[in-house]
Amino acid sequence: MGDFIVDFRSPQKRQLAGAEAALRFTPKTKVIVTEEAEFTLILSSTDDNSLWGPYRSPEGVLVAISGRLALDEQKWQAAEAVSGEGGLACKAIWQMFSRGGIKAVEQLGGNWVILIHDPRNHQFHLITDPAGAFPCFRLDREDPLIFGSHPDVLARVAGVADQLDAVSMTEFLLTSTVTPPHTYYRPIRAMEPGTVTTINLDAAGTQRLSSRRYFDLSLRYDTRLNEDDLADELAAAFRTAVQRRTLPRLGRTAIALSGGLDSRAIMACVENREQVFSFCCYNEPNRELATAQAIASSLHIPFFAWRRGLEYYGDNAEQGVRISGGMGTFANNHFLGVLGQLQENGAQNLLTGCYCDYLFKGLPLNRSSHWLTGRERLAPFRHEFYFSHHLRPTPLAAQIQERQQSRVPPEFQAQDSPETVFQIEARRTFPLYYEGDNQQRVVPQRVMGWYLPMADRAIMEVYRRIPFSYKLNRSVYTKAVRRLCQGPVSRVPDANTGSLVGAPAAIECLTNNYARVQRKFRRFHQSVGTDGSWPDWQFYVRHSHCLSELWKRPNQPANDFFHRVLSPQDIRPDTVDYVGKDLFFLVSLLTLKLWFEQWQP
């Protein structure tokens, strides 16, 4: 996978000389440049061009894709009949476009941006995926028109890299996220998910742009369906999504495996197991690792356990910030450090269970849980929900609050119907590439073939049909996983709860509380390891020389900005000076500092 830039300025005004180098994030990245009178298109990719490269039809229609398209085997086979050089995925898109126009392309799923130049009608179409999984930004001006997938590279080629948005950057420091469509640059805006943007190019060189949503993110709950019906639909959609992404023609697939339900469900759906392997990253042997190994063994899928060194996150922080664009913290850069192992084992695709929590377990909602049973219920609305907000006095507080209100307007905050609650979910979730853990998703999407099952069109259709009441307590999701995980894998306990998949609430309560007690006792064992997937960040920050050196390294623009928007006591001499609730405030600060070090005005 990779990135794209498409520039509709006149040829003499296109300043793209540095774009190719800026989009080369790995030695294996290839770049294709297409020059036309109306535009220049730059595509970077780490993928096999015979599958994913652009295609030009005999009629002169150019079809290109950044990201991954999900198709059934029959559509891949049909695309093989299309003559000419070019990638099979783009040939499949061309077939659909030639027969059904842009409406046919709108039915596709996956994590992608599709680009179609149709000279017969003097039109260029840019289509974003329904989930907004693949990044897409534009220069927010009517003229000139420039689009791209990486905001930093787009800002440089558009000549606006010096027009920084202090509100976005301060919001990131205080909340670990940025409100879409804003970026770190005032003139750069995110494109909406599920949108067709058409540029009409007339003979005089005039450009007219129009956009429309083709995928509506609103609740479509059918009251005639009960929870079991929806669990059936979700299980079927899950199976379809995984099978589309593990077809033999797509090459070897790696699955990131934990001890929970999400990656387990993906593993259980795989039919083509001889071309799949699983892996788990860990700091110290723990229950998570043992459970992942047991899941892989029960399904007879090869398993690799890759140990992270103490400085795993610090060593990969700078590169992760550069690849991601710095709008997610380096603490979520979980996969860049194993890129070499994935390549050594021939992985051409990477599947993860990302976003199951967002789509089907109520993560975007404000929830409260009973102190003993852990049973969830909807809580009163707050802008803080998943990531902690680091409350600090700042001159930009009013603008930040205004942006948060724009994301979830007051009419939805009352949570007075399933429809309004769904809007809170959707507005906090999409586009997916703005989500707070986005380095975990954006980095592998650019360099290691991340092929997201949750971006499948079938999954998205089911998502729109499930009310929030079925998502609390993982209710409908657990039922769907029970349908998928049959046989030996169903007898491997969930590492998060300690109970079997779909165990009665009373049993889950007991095992969950027992696990909580174990975690409390583990705190007395000073170590970077935890019972879960990720390290103990309190321990890591205290013992990391790498993070300390990165923080102390001089950078005047970052220092000036921090002192302008924060109080002096917030900018401390060393990383060990940030403890407790301020720990992840440090992570945001250091992420933005590393971004400033790579920023080129």
Which class is 2-136+191-213 in CATH? alpha beta
The residue ranking higher by pLDDT, 90 or 515, is 90
| Residue-averaged pLDDT of the chain | 94
pLDDT at residue 207 is higher than 80: no
| Average pLDDT estimate for 458-474 | 97
Q: How far apart are CA 390 and CA 585, in angstroms?
A: 6
Q: What is the pLDDT of residues 241-300, one digit of tens each?
A: 999 999 999 999 999 999 999 999 999 999 999 999 999 999 999 999 999 999 999 999
- Intrachain domains 2-136+191-213 and 227-380+415-515 with the same fold: no
| Inter-residue contact 4 to 149 (CB < 8 Å) | yes
pLDDT for residue 15: 85
Q: What is the pLDDT of residues 541-597, one digit of tens each?
A: 999 999 999 999 999 999 999 999 999 999 999 999 999 999 999 999 999 999 999
Structure tokens at 365: 């909602």
Cβ atoms < 10 Å from Cβ of 134: 31
Structure tokens at 289: 């690792």
Residue 246 exposure: Cα atoms within 13 Å on the Cβ side: 25
| Inter-residue contact 351 to 277 (CB < 8 Å) | no
What is the arrangement of strands in the sheet containing 2-7, beginning at the earlier edge strand? 30-35, 40-45, 2-7, 146-148, 137-139, 188-190
| Inter-residue contact 26 to 62 (CB < 8 Å) | no
Determine how β-strand 109-118 pairs with β-strand 123-128. Answer: antiparallel
pLDDT for residue 370: 84
Q: What is the pLDDT of residues 370-419, one digit of tens each?
A: 888 888 999 999 999 999 999 899 999 999 999 999 999 999 999 999 99
pLDDT-derived band of residue 174, with 50, 70 and 90 as boundaries? very high
Residue with the two structure tokens 């109520």: 362
Instruction: Give the chain's largest Cα–Cα span.
Output: 73
The amino acid present at 181, given as its one-letter code, is: P
Q: Which CATH architecture has domain 227-380+415-515?
A: 3-Layer(aba) Sandwich (3.40)
pLDDT at residue 202 is higher than 90: no
In the DSSP assignment, the letter for residue 276 is E
| Average pLDDT estimate for 356-382 | 93
pLDDT for residue 524: 62
pLDDT for residue 552: 98
pLDDT for residue 206: 61
| Average pLDDT estimate for 512-527 | 66
| Inter-residue contact 514 to 495 (CB < 8 Å) | no
pLDDT-derived band of residue 521, with 50, 70 and 90 as boundaries? low
pLDDT at residue 205 is higher than 60: no
pLDDT for residue 281: 96
pTM over 0.85: yes
Give domain limits for the chain: 2-136+191-213, 227-380+415-515
